[in-house]
Each structure stands twice: as C-alpha cells, then as structure tokens.
Structure 1
Amino acid sequence: MSDDQKSEALAAWYQLLKVPEIRMDAEEQYDELLKAADEMERTGLINSAEWRRLVQEASAAFANATEGLGRGT
C-alpha cells in the first residue's frame, strides 16, 4: 500500500469524524468509523497501534456526542 492511499484513507476517516454524513446519528458515525479503521488495518494501510489510536478517537467522539443523553439534559 502506498503512502498516498494511507493519507487519503486517513483524511476520509478524519473528515467523517469531524463532519458526519447527513442524517447520521452518533451511533452510526461511530460504527462507520470503526468499520473504516478495521478495513484500513485489514488491508495493511495502518498498523495495530494506529488502529488503536483511531478507535480511541472514535470512542471519545462518541462519548462526547452522547454525553448527557439519558440523564435528562
């Protein structure tokens, strides 16, 4: 895999992290981010450490998006 492919895949991942698709709720965004990270690791674009970092970032974004839900806020 080339560095260009890796850069493009990561740019798309971070774009989805920053700007979810229209009508995409936080859970759908989280699922898509995880699928994309899994696919990048599966195809060798990223290593396991990079995959973990992406999963942590997706998890933090999901937690922030859902914070307060279910607590009446």
Structure 2
Amino acid sequence: MSDQLKEALLAAWRKRAGQTEADVDPEDQYDELLKAADQMEEQGLITSAEWRQLVREAGNLFTLNEQQPHR
C-alpha cells in the first residue's frame, strides 16, 4: 500500500467532502464520496474500518446538507 497515494486520495476525498457551494447537489456529492471510498478500498489503499468511517462521514454530511435551506 502506498502511503503517499493513500494520503493524497484521502486529502482529495476530504476536499470533496468540504465543498459547500450552492451548486453542489448533496445527493451527487454523497454518491461521489461513496464511489471514491469504494475505489480506495477496492485498490487496497484503505481498510474496511477506514471505509466504514468515510461512509459514515459521507452520510453525516449528506444529512447536514439536506437539512440546510436550498437556494
């Protein structure tokens, strides 16, 4: 497992998760985050425990974004 690749992909995942622009659809963002987490796990870059944590974070973010008023 490449630690540098793992760190780069996790940083990209967190950057994507931090996008809060009005033009980012919460459902699309959630789907993208899940796909990215799936790809990292399939490539062996993250453990199943790390994958579950990312999925939880994506779910929490989706719930938070859905509760906010849309523009």
Q: TM-score, normalised by structure 1?
A: 0.86
Give the SS at the match of 2:58. helix
- Identity score, percent: 52
Q: How many residues align?
A: 69
Alignment root-mean-square deviation, CA: 1.8
Write out the 4+ residue segments of structure 1 that deviate beyond 3 Å after TM superposition. Answer: 20-23
Q: Relative contact order (alpha carbons < 8 A, sep ≥ 6): 1 or 2 greater?
A: 2
Computing the radius of gyration from Cα coordinates, the structure with the larger value is 1
Call closer, same or farther: CA 1:17–1:68 in 2, change over 3 Å. Answer: closer
How far apart in 2 are the matches of 1:21 and 1:7? Answer: 24
Change (3 A) 1:26 1:2: same
Asked if the contact 1:20–1:29 (Cα under 8 Å) also holds between the matched residues in 2, the reply is no
TM-score, normalised with respect to structure 2: 0.88
Unpaired segments ≥5 residues, structure 2? none
